[in-house]
Structure 1
Amino acid sequence: MIRCVFVLDLFNGSAVHALRGEREKYRPIQETSKIVVTCDPLAILDLLRPKEVYVADLDRIMGTGDNLDLIGEIAREAETMADVGISSTGELDLLPPSVKPVLGTETGSFDLLEEASSRRDAVVSIDLFGGAVLARDPALRVPPLDLIRRLNPLPLKEIILLSLDRVGTSAGLDEIFLWKAARLSAHPLLLGGGVKDGSDLDRLEDLGIAGALVATAVHNGKIPLEALR
């Protein structure tokens, strides 16, 4: 089984259910989950015991606050990577050394990706919507396969292909794109968004994808907890 990284989307200290990147519509996770009855992130970790966690600090990404202390606590429970909306190298120090910073194209720049990856074990998130890269920096606003090629020389830990419009939808896989991406990339690739069940995980492995970010399929019981552990 490929790597399964459990996703915690944090909003105002609570775990929420992410859907299609429409952040204003996110609801507390227990309203949709079949396996948890709380939105307390630490209680959820205690119950599910995942090996790896991807955290998105939605407050900080949206500029309305942060969950940085909570991320530090999460990192004591599981291997953690976190997207806190980093837009400058100085912000790398917001995260403790044990947490891998996730540098999203939505908030970062190509210069940031170059400099940050030389300083820390960084992960790049290619943030996608409708198959196009979401980015403020024109240097990142290129077709995703071209961007993967441009990132090949950088000393990145891995790359996340985060399809925001597929998050929370269980929409399945864009197999042709993923097959091409896996053959172009010099880095391990993780898919975020759209994974619906264990058969999708098997298919990702066949396509050459190293792992998947999973939340909805775990909460609705389509991916067993063993896969996270």
Structure 2
Amino acid sequence: MPSDPVDAFPAPTDGATLEIIPVLDLKGGVVVRGKMGHREHYRPIVTPLAASAAPAEVARGLKRLAPFGAFYLADLDAIAGGAPDQAAIDAVAACLPGCRLWIDAGLRDEADVLNVLSFERTVAVIGSETLGSADTLQRLRGEPRVVLSLDFRGAAFLGAPEVLENADLWPQAVIVMTLAKVGSGAGPELETLAAIQKRAGGRRVYAAGGVRGPQDLKALADLGIAGVLVASALHDGRLDGAALQRFMPAKPGVGSA
């Protein structure tokens, strides 16, 4: 399929708004419940939003909550070194027409990234945890549909120190992924986010991990964070449709196909 030419990110908006992106963690062909980054213990999700853990069914359930413009697919098997679950990704894409798919599938080099970008409506997420060489970021720095995930476990950065230290390597959007916070309900890592935001030089900074509810969305918006990846708070009902739409831009998401 040809690469989609539409801009990868929504236009800036005035006021305290956030791009809210639901996360689907894929493992063994189903959606699993993330918990503090301990992927070996993730189990198929049980959620009131869907009758099963089938990726397309969970995606449809999330879509009914709010007019999300993008979804984040983390292929945990691929991140661990296995083959990407293209069947699951295709199933989700088919049931979310007009939505962008952020694909985090253990991308290690330029070839992996370009493969993701060859599909419609995709944004390639390069995780510092799996990136083979900082040279890949240098070569892809001008690609508008690439996002860098700066992965942390506690205070420890996962990846080559150069990736964290040299902000000139960063694309136009970065995620601060605090794995120990995922599914913890402990609140976002605001101090780390503020430090990255200060160094980002106008790039869009996204938060991932620990969101408990509307109070955390407000704190992130007040900090100037561009968007947030969420999962548990959606499935647990701590973020319902009314709460989500208070923070979402008038035209949410990342464009249409």
The 1:153/1:117 distance shift into structure 2, 3 A limit, reads closer
Is residue 168 of structure 1 aligned with residue 189 of structure 2?
A: no
Give the AA of the match of 2:85: N
Cα distance between partner residues in 2 of 1:134 and 1:176: 18
Cα distance between partner residues in 2 of 1:213 and 1:100: 14
What is the aligned counterpart of 2:74 among 46, 56, 71? 56
What is the aligned counterpart of 1:198 among 192, 201, 214? 214
Task: Kindly report which structure 2 residues correspond to 1:58-137, keeping only aligned pairs within 5 A, or say none.
Answer: 58-76=76-94, 77=96, 78-95=99-116, 96-108=119-131, 109-119=133-143, 121-135=145-159, 137=160
The 1:93/1:175 distance shift into structure 2, 3 A limit, reads closer
Residue 113 of structure 1 deviates from its aligned partner by 1.4
Cα distance between partner residues in 2 of 1:52 and 1:91: 21
Cα distance between partner residues in 1 of 2:241 and 2:50: 12
Cα distance between partner residues in 2 of 1:54 and 1:16: 13
Is residue 158 of structure 1 aligned with residue 179 of structure 2?
A: no
The TM-score, its normalising length taken from structure 2, stands at 0.78
The 1:70/1:208 distance shift into structure 2, 3 A limit, reads same
Cα distance between partner residues in 2 of 1:163 and 1:11: 20
The TM-score, its normalising length taken from structure 1, stands at 0.87
Cα distance between partner residues in 2 of 1:55 and 1:13: 12
- Render the CA deviation track for 1:13-34: whole Å, top value 9, x for unaligned: 100001111111001111xx34
Structure 2 unmatched ranges of 5 or more:
1-16, 246-251, 253-257
- Render the CA deviation track for 1:103-123: whole Å, top value 9, x for unaligned: 000011311112123345200
Contact 1:60 1:84 in 2 (8 A): yes
Cα distance between partner residues in 1 of 2:35 and 2:59: 21
* Runs of 4+, deviation exceeding 4 Å: none
Residue 47 of structure 1 deviates from its aligned partner by 2.2
Is residue 40 of structure 1 aligned with residue 47 of structure 2?
A: no
Is residue 12 of structure 1 aligned with residue 28 of structure 2?
A: yes
The 1:158/1:206 distance shift into structure 2, 3 A limit, reads same
Q: Which residue of 2 aligns with 1:211?
A: 227
Identical pairs, percent: 30
The 1:118/1:178 distance shift into structure 2, 3 A limit, reads closer
- Render the CA deviation track for 1:30-58: whole Å, top value 9, x for unaligned: 1xx34333101111222221321111111
Contact 2:37 2:179 in 1 (8 A): yes
Aligned length: 218
Which has the bigger relative contact order, CA under 8 A and spacing at least 6? 2
Structure 1 unmatched ranges of 5 or more:
none
Cα distance between partner residues in 1 of 2:110 and 2:169: 19
Give the AA of the match of 1:124: L
Is residue 223 of structure 1 aligned with residue 239 of structure 2?
A: yes
* Greater Cα shift, 182-191 or 201-210: 182-191
Cα distance between partner residues in 1 of 2:109 and 2:130: 9
